């Protein structure tokens, strides 16, 4: 299975760039599955339903959220009716939506997409490790299993917590990829048990910014240690950032993992088709 995961979309710049890039990348990389973290798509905070629909139309199969999941109130009802939009599974019981979704590809193959949120330097939630373990309990990966691939989006601040998630589920999932820090890491690798791993996929947004937000107001908060003006997304040309993974359908494990960086200010990286 050929999979593309795109990191946090930030504002109109990131949203438009990702929407334009997805159909191009689907064709260029012969993609089977596209998963996008869209929690910052709506002016940097949350996701509006019409934006989710536009990303599905562009070719995204699953959208994930994170700590900004509930910034747009319209999402509460939308997430209950759209199973392709998932939020971290370790929110408390009774939270709207689900933390996992099984995608059925046109050829009948299936992929489980799971999202969890970290707890270091983040809001206190239920245990993400036991949450992912519970989500995986109902599925076996590979030929003869219930799914052919399993992806875990771990929305977390600390690289140590992300690495711990990767190693904890090495050999049990196809990919563990980090989101939330909006900066692409250079540690894409296949772990010893066969799971693809990347600490952070980076953001789809304008990198002439402070993690996607306009520089002036964001920097001033560090100088003055007061909130100041409301943060607004940077609106220059975006770099589309993410990770490409190719798996073995017989095992569900990774054969190849490569970063994707397209457009904007960062050095360009495009996997061979």
Which are the catalytic amino acids? Answer: 68
Structure tokens at 252: 């569900």
- In whole angstroms, give the CA distance from residue 216 to residue 153: 31
Contact in structure between 128 and 116 (CB atoms under 8 Å): yes
Backbone angles phi, psi at 105, to 5 degrees: -75, 160
Provide the phi-psi class of 75: left if phi over 0, else alpha when psi is between -120 and 50, else beta: alpha
Number of continuous H segments (helices) and E segments (strands) in the chain: 6, 12
Structure tokens at 237: 């040309």
Contact in structure between 55 and 78 (CB atoms under 8 Å): no
Give the contacts of 117 (CB within 8 A, at least 6 positions apart). 66, 67, 88, 90, 91, 123, 125, 128, 154, 155, 156
Tell me which long-range contacts 170-173 makes (C-beta under 8 A, separation of at least 24).
170/194, 170/195, 170/197, 171/195, 171/253, 172/136, 172/141, 173/114, 173/136, 173/141, 173/252
Instruction: Give the Å distances, CA to CA, from 248 to 143, 179, 189, 245, 259.
Output: 9, 24, 16, 10, 19
Q: Cα dihedral angle (228, 264, 156, 146), rounded to 10 degrees?
A: 140
């Amino acid at each position: 299975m050929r999979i593309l995961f795109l990191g946090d979309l930030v504002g109109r710049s990131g949203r438009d760039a990702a929407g334009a890039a997805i159909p191009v990348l689907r064709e260029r990389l012969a993609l089977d599955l596209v998963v996008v973290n869209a929690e910052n798509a709506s002016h940097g905070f949350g996701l509006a339903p019409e934006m989710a629909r536009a990303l599905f139309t562009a070719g995204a199969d699953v959208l994930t959220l994170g700590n900004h999941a509930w910034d747009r109130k319209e999402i509460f009802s939308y997430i209950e009716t759209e199973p392709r939009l998932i939020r971290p599974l370790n929110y408390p019981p009774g939270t709207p939506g689900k933390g996992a979704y099984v995608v059925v590809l046109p050829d009948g193959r299936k992929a489980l997409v799971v999202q969890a949120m970290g707890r270091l330097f983040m809001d206190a939630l239920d245990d993400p490790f036991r949450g992912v373990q519970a989500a995986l309990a109902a599925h076996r990966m590979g030929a003869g299993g219930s799914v052919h691939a399993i992806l875990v989006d771990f929305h977390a601040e600390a690289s140590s917590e992300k690495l711990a998630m990767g190693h904890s589920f090495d050999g049990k999932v196809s990919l563990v990829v980090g989101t939330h820090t909006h900066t692409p890491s250079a540690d894409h690798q296949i772990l010893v048990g066969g799971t693809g791993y990347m600490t952070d996929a980076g953001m789809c947004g304008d990198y002439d910014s402070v993690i996607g937000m306009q520089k002036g107001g964001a920097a001033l908060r560090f100088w003055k240690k007061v909130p100041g003006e409301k943060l607004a997304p940077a609106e220059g040309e975006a770099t589309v950032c993410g990770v490409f993974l190719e798996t073995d359908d017989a095992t569900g494990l990774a054969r190849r993992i490569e970063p994707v960086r397209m457009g904007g200010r960062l050095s360009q990286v495009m996997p061979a088709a």
